[in-house]
Amino acid sequence: MAEPLHEELSALAAIFCGPREYEVLSRSEKDGTVFRIHTKAEGLSDEDIPLELVFHLPVNYPSCLPGISVNSEHLTRGQCVAVKEKLLQQAERLLPEPMVHELVLWIQQNLRLVLSRLEAGRGSEQCTFPISPTVDDGLWVTLLHLDHMRARTKYIKTVEKWASDLRLTGRLMFLGKIILILLQGDRNSIKEYLVLQKTSKVDVDSNGKKCKEKMMSVLFETKVQMEHKRFLAFEVKEYSTLDELQKEFATAGLKELFSEFVLGLVK
């Protein structure tokens, strides 16, 4: 772990030292660090609202934005989305310095303002954060199929970089010769990813020359629904059996899509 990141995590553990205030969920040299902070902030009625903030710090953080998830039993789904988007906007202003503590302090001081502006915009066509039956109006999930991957190490690093740069989460999945990429995030970011995937020389041909991806197919894309799992990071995973891969999809709430689109790839 890089020294600045180690110092930031140590500082956070010291600052949020109460029961369940700070908890590391996962830590990997490849995927970065995911942790949760429980805090409170003043709401519209002067009451303290409990907030659960989950941060994913990629390996190249703080040169890139962290992933952020916001949950609270006292806020609607739309309000949580609004808070997350405001935190990401604030994070962009803090690049490239360690920022988690400043982000927590910012939302502690500004939650009431964020909620009041959301209330003021409700019912207006200019409302920035519409409330919908999905987890996030702009959150989509897309499954891609790759025919092959000759320059595997380079290809994987490129996919991971694109996902990190575009703030996409999900899985790069290998089962024998089957290669799948499951992406979750803003629909426009997914579209940008698809452009990169199709136009960049990401692999090599049979002669070892760099080439573009010509045999990628989009198996499905859909808005993230309430039953779908929200991925916190982008991970590369290998599966030894079809059952293991099916369990991954079932855990993500995508069991029916697995049966419809993935089983047909098994020969």
Q: How far is residue 42's CA from residue 104's CA, in Å, rounded to a whole number?
A: 13
Q: For tokens 């915009």, what's the residue?
A: 121
Q: What is the pTM of this model?
A: 0.49
pLDDT of residue 224: 79
Those residues whose C-beta lies under 8 Å from the C-beta of residue 137, and which sit 6 or more positions away, are 81, 130
Identify the CA nearest to 118 among candidates 104, 107, 128.
Answer: 128
Whether 224 contacts 230, CB under 8 Å: yes
Q: How many CB atoms lie within 10 A of CB 202?
A: 22
Identify the CA nearest to 167 among candidates 93, 82, 56.
Answer: 56
Q: How far is residue 42's CA from residue 44's CA, in Å, rounded to a whole number?
A: 7
User: What does the angle CA 183 – CA 164 – CA 214 come to, to the nearest 5 degrees?
Assistant: 55
Provide the angle, in degrees to the nearest 10, between the axes of the packed helices 77-94 and 100-121.
Answer: 130
Those residues whose C-beta lies under 8 Å from the C-beta of residue 196, and which sit 6 or more positions away, are 162
pLDDT of residue 267: 60
| 3-state SS assignment for residue 34 | strand
Domains, the chain, ranges and CATH?
A: 3-121 (3.10.110.10), 139-265 (3.30.70.100)
- pLDDT digit string (tens) for the chain, length 267 residues: 567 788 889 989 988 888 889 999 988 888 889 999 999 998 877 788 999 999 999 988 888 899 999 999 899 888 998 899 999 998 988 888 889 999 999 999 889 888 887 776 553 333 333 333 334 446 888 999 988 888 888 889 889 988 988 889 999 999 988 999 999 988 888 888 888 887 778 887 778 888 877 778 888 888 877 777 788 889 999 999 999 999 999 888 888 888 888 888 876
